[in-house]
Amino acid sequence: MIDHVYISVTDIEKSLAFYVEALKPIGWREFGNYDAASGPDNVPDLFGLGDDAYISGTGVGSSIWLRQRQRGETGLYIGIVCDTNEAVDAAYLAAINAGGIDEGGPADRTYFAPGYYAANVADFDGNRLEFVHKAWNPAR
């Protein structure tokens, strides 16, 4: 299951207005922002939209995070749900062994939330994957 997607856009305000309206009929809504000042240098400001399960925490849901596009960026960043921290570790190792580029090994990412455990890799074209286990997600 896809947990979250980062979409790199050229105009945050215009894009946020678009996504809010486009996703409203299927129950998605804007739910908050992530201020880059509270985390590491490589995590940008993020503007979040999510489905009801994601926002309420009543189930495993999905979210979209808009971010300001940087020069040369591909724009693709996908977070993939893992059921355990060990699954994050295994997926990360498999991606590295397949030739992936390390963008942050498996670790707690408490700057996002307590119980957020993830690892990041890029493919040969700079597209990014995040393997993520959220301790608060119900077992699937």
Q: Give me the average pLDDT of each 10-residue run along the chain (140 residues).
A: 88 90 85 86 88 89 90 81 92 91 96 95 85 86
Query: pTM score, two decimals?
Result: 0.71
CA distance 60 to 140: 8
Please name the residue that has the structure tokens 């670790």: 107
Token duo for residue 91: 């997926």
User: Which pairing describes strands 46-50 and 76-81: parallel, antiparallel, or unpaired?
Assistant: unpaired
pLDDT for the residue numbered 96: 92
Residue-range domain boundaries for the chain: 2-134
DSSP state of 37: G
CATH class of 2-134: alpha beta
CA 16 to chain centroid, in Å, comes to 16
